[in-house]
Amino acid sequence: LILQLIVNCGRVMDLSQLDGVTVGFDYDDALASVDLGYESAIAKGYTNAEGLIGVGKMLRVCRNHTVKVHVVLNANVLMDLVNHDIETDEFWAAVNILAHELAHVEVTTWFESHSPDVMLTEHQGDWAVATMRDAAHTIWEEYAACRLSARFSQGETTTLSYAQGFETS
């Protein structure tokens, strides 16, 4: 089912820079299993505070001097794909989690095409400017991924979940 959803997302999203998808019931182990192709102390971290817990993450990886995206998903949240029927909000919320992370592949491809070799390069210069640039890029990237993945959602569960996460953070 996950492979079928990836193929369907690939019909409307550019997934050419998708390195792979890892799904695990132990999210920490699933994240740890991905070879980034570079050293990073923070790349595999995820939100786990104040009622927000990350369940899907895109990791930028370096393959043959090219930035690609590897998607890691917590299998526990994808169980709604098999435990609910296509008519339920829970099913579509699980579909949207996968589609959202895959949308990051297209967003990364856009960014790499207009600003190559920037994403995995250390910032130079003023730390405040670098911090603001990182924040702006993250906000824009999340917005774009939400817009691209919105077509893979039905009902109100996903919208309410995003709104609640936004308010909490």
Neighbours of 53 (CB within 10 A): 12
Cα distance between residue 144 and residue 36, in whole Å: 23
Whole-model pTM above 0.75? yes
From first to last of the 169 residues of the chain, give the pLDDT tens digit.
899 999 999 999 999 999 999 999 999 999 999 999 999 988 898 888 877 788 899 999 999 999 999 999 999 989 988 877 777 888 888 999 999 999 999 999 998 888 777 777 777 778 898 888 888 888 899 899 988 998 888 777 777 877 777 777 6
Neighbours of 141 (CB within 10 A): 17
Q: What is the DSSP string of 140-151?
A: HHHHHHHHHHGG
CB-neighbour burial class of residue 81 (10 A; exposed 0-12, middle 13-18, buried 19+): buried
Rg of the chain, C-alpha, whole Å: 16
